[in-house]
Chain A
């Protein structure tokens, strides 16, 4: 009886989860603007919070330019960037916060079942942002190193069941993607271009359990792939750089 009940409950909760994951929200519902000049950080963040609180779902961005600072992705939320949708990083250094040690446009710490998918773009405006970062450091207002203060595009720490799929990642101020202490990360079909700032690395991962990257292209000024610390169950295949070199996980 109890067992049956438990199974029924488990089934029900599975159903609920899969159901709620289907819920989609258009960005405009939360007043998010695609005009390239409205800073949408708070509206998008409220949208993510709301969707997560409602049990999860997909926040959909359609064609347009969505200016934003750091967004903290929450459990069971998928960001879908449809073709032509661009998340544009704002050029003010103080609009960014970090997950772990790395600032980024998309941050998450301790979240699960999160994803960024679609044919759209995350764009870092690296040159402009770096200029502002350096100005702030030179004036003594920002007491961080350039590296610390340069946001990546994606920085995830201690997250599990992460999917980054299909999107184009362009011109961060710092490195492109950083994953630390994550579990079950899947990256696929990403086109990565980072040529605006020096030594911008493509993907840095450390302490991950289950890290898969397939069919990605990296055109970066720094190493396309840098792994630090120990990660286990790493699978990298079909990923290459402009000179045609296939990326391999370093042992």
Chain B
């Protein structure tokens, strides 16, 4: 683990060095681009990119002003530089965007198989996605539906809505200082890319459904740091679309996120896997679902993960680790060697993201506040999970007359396995613990872990079910009126050691 971290840091330094070479600057207005917020500049910007690409590379500089554009393709050795006050404004006409077959997606800025590219500067990319998405919907309703969109959930499907950035199979990418806002779909996706360096970006991505913060798909050697994300959907999202690829060597440092879904998420699509991932100094707040969700539901191998330093404030759930069996096509999922330490978290009683336009969906009730959960499958155990220096504050107040799962074998065995369900901390509805529920796991190590309930709860703090090997050291349970209550209940478990 230590070795991989040093590797990552040296990688970051290497990346910094790489991106000094694009020396020459070109002013996009010199190509005739008009920054009036009305004129559509697609072809002019594209021409400028191609020109720089063919003439040895450099930066395409946008001075202050609003530049409307449809889909453009970034090319090797070209950096788009948005100065403070410059906005790349997405066209609101959905037909101004290209459906890129390799990505099977629409985007404002594409890069396909390019090297040494970047988007930098203190300017803004504003997709105006709410308008574009609704305009697409209008075209579909009148019968002009080129993508044969079935408008599931009464919205155009994600791939028929443009996001801000989609880079695929690119190398040496710098995304620095920019603001990304209001995409119509996910926000920025880096798919099978290598050497990605994201630093000091600001993301406001909550204008329409499925607005993620950042999606890292099957990438190698990635640094994301010093950035802020506010998203309607998952914020820091690592995915694995390909059985042949995985996310590997990723460092996420000093980021702050807000989400109406999850903060840090591996998945949902999780085929290849996630390996050697380090996340440090992360703050998650006002977030509907989990601060941390790792899901291996499509055959992913998740291993060697370190999360060190988390503040999770007003977040619906804190930790959710899950092995499922959804689109695995026979590939056997693995989740092992996970360390989460130095965590302080507060879970609210009310809806953590109430008041945001695209609030997370209210699911079928009743359910008392859910615990953090580590849930494998009987045939695929989650292995070797360490929690160290963790404090989670819960509202407590679980009321058995509202919803109840007790500790009898019938009740515990009655909790469904749901191998093929979409993985969310709330998927099992009521769970029998208020602090932590662990099922189908081998090797659980808790050290200096505190669970605090602000009101008394009918459930114990921890329930273990089918856990083989566990050490619990320096545990603290704080719950009003709980004298004599057994806060750790184990069932069908062995080799459990409490110090």
With the chains together, A43 CA to B139 CA distance in Å?
Answer: 11
Expressed in whole angstroms, the minimum distance between the Cβ of A130 and any Cβ of chain B is: 13
Q: Check B32–A43 contact: CB distance below 8 A.
A: no
Do B144 and A50 touch (CB < 8 A)? yes
Which of these, A30, A31, A94, contacts B31 with CB under 8 Å? A94
A41, A42, A94: the one within 8 Å of B47 (CB)? A94
Interface check A139, CB cutoff 8 A: yes
Known A30-B144, A94-B32, A136-B32; contact A69-B43, beta-carbon cutoff 8 A: yes
Residues of A within 8 A of B30 (CB): 139, 141
Count A interface residues, CB 8 Å: 21
Q: Are B39 and A39 in contact (CB under 8 A)?
A: yes
Q: Closest chain B residue to A43 by CB distance? A: B95
Are B32 and A30 in touch, CB under 8 angstroms? no
In the complex, A248 has a CB within 8 A of chain B: no
Within 8 A of A (CB), among B15-64: 30-32, 34, 38-41, 43-44, 46-48, 51
B96 at the interface (CB under 8 A from A): yes
In the complex, whether B342 has a CB less than 8 A from a CB of chain A is no
Chain A interface, >50% SS class: helix
Shortest distance from the beta carbon of B52 to any chain A beta carbon, whole Å: 10
Contacts of A141 in B (CB 8 A): 30-31, 47-48, 51
A95–B146 CB distance below 8 A: no
The contact string, 1 if C-beta is below 8 Å from chain B, for chain A 78-122, is 000000000000001111000000000000000000000000000
Q: A50-B146, A94-B32, A95-B43 are in contact. Are A37 and B38 (CB under 8 A)?
A: yes
Contact B139 A94 (CB under 8 A): no
A39 lies within 8 A of B144 (CB): no
Contact A42 B43 (CB under 8 A): no
B68 to chain A, nearest CB (A): 9
Chain B residues lying within 8 Å of A37, measured Cβ to Cβ, are 38
Q: Please give, as numbers and ranges, the residues of chain B lying within 8 Å of A39 by CB-CB distance.
A: 39-40
A43–B70 CA distance with the chains assembled, in angstroms: 12
Q: How far is the CA of A104 from the CA of B479 in the complex (A)?
A: 77
Assess the A94–B43 pair: CB atoms within 8 A. yes
Determine the chain B residues whose CB is within 8 A of the CB of A30 once the complex forms.
95, 139, 144
Q: Select one of A42, A92, A95, A136 contacting B95, CB under 8 A.
A: A42
Determine the chain A residues whose CB is within 8 A of the CB of B146 once the complex forms: 46, 50
**How many A-B residue pairs lie within 8 Å, measured between CB atoms?**
53
Complex: A139 Cα to B48 Cα, angstroms:
12
**Assuming A31-B93, A31-B139, A136-B32, is B144 touching A92 (CB within 8 A)?**
no
Asked if B254 is at the interface (CB within 8 A of a chain A CB), the reply is no
**Cα(A39)–Cα(B138), bound, Å:** 19
- Is A135 an interface residue, CB under 8 A from the partner? yes
Q: Are A29 and B44 in touch, CB under 8 angstroms?
A: no
Task: Tell me the residues in window 30-57 of chain A with beta carbons closer than 8 Å to chain B beta carbons.
Answer: 30-31, 37-39, 41-43, 46, 50
B residues in contact with A43, CB < 8 Å: 93, 95-96
The chain A residue with its CB closest to the CB of B39 is A39
Residues of chain A contacted by B31 (CB below 8 angstroms)? 94, 136, 141
**A132 on interface, CB distance cutoff 8 Å:** yes
User: How long is the Cα–Cα vector from A46 to B48 in the complex, in angstroms?
Assistant: 25
User: Could you tell me the distance in whole angstroms from the C-beta of B23 to the nearest C-beta in chain A?
Assistant: 18
**Shortest CB distance B237–A (Å):** 30
Are A92 and B93 in contact, with the CB atoms below 8 A? no
B427 at the interface (CB under 8 A from A): no
* C-alpha gap A184/B327 in the complex (Å): 58
- A sample of 20 cross-chain residue pairs with beta-carbon separation below 8 angstroms, ordered by A number, consists of A29-B142, A30-B144, A31-B93, A38-B93, A39-B39, A42-B96, A43-B95, A46-B95, A50-B144, A92-B32, A92-B39, A92-B41, A92-B43, A93-B32, A94-B31, A95-B44, A135-B32, A136-B31, A139-B30, A141-B48
Which residues of B come within 8 Å of A, CB atoms?
30-32, 34, 38-41, 43-44, 46-48, 51, 70, 93, 95-96, 135, 138-139, 142, 144, 146
A-B residue pairs, 10 tightest by C-beta:
A39-B40, A94-B47, A94-B43, A95-B43, A42-B95, A94-B44, A43-B95, A42-B96, A46-B95, A92-B44
Interface residues, chain A, CB within 8 Å of chain B? 29-31, 37-39, 41-43, 46, 50, 69, 92-95, 132, 135-136, 139, 141
